[in-house]
Amino acid sequence: MTADQHPVLLSPAPSPAELSQAIADAVLSVPGVAHLAPTLTDHARRLRTALFHGAAPTFAPGITVELGDAGALVGVDLAVVIDHPSVDTAERVQLAVVDALAHRKLTCASITVAILGMYEEQPAPAAAEGGTD
């Protein structure tokens, strides 16, 4: 049997839920990021998942991921700490997203970073989790 006759084993592509969590972890490690900011859309998606699938939602709040033919389309909604320049923080977030995707052998077609809030200092953990539902 020659080398070209051996089957190639490919690892399965990660699910959008797995990707969103990996991206969330990468984003939260960026200096200047206070927390991910779940939006009304996040809350609606979580409610829909809980109602129709009977399971806890697995997408990271504040992160949206769509896998397309051209690569991943990623949206990041977050709050930042004022003592870090917002533009620098957004650029570092974009680099962290690209790195998280590259570790999973995926390319990035688009990254949208929306800064939805600013804090003078790192917020308490309850605020970082988006407060109450």
We report the CATH number of the domain holding residue 60 as 3.30.70.1350
Overall average pLDDT of the 4-15 stretch: 60
Over residues 6-17, the mean pLDDT reads: 63
Q: What is the pLDDT of residues 58-107, one digit of tens each?
A: 578 888 888 888 888 888 999 999 998 999 999 999 999 999 999 999 99
Instruction: Name the band, by pLDDT with cuts 50, 70 and 90, for residue 131.
Output: very low
pTM: 0.73
Domains identified in the chain, total number: 1
- Residue 94: domain span: 14-120
Helix/strand/coil percentages in the chain, nearest 5: 40, 25, 35
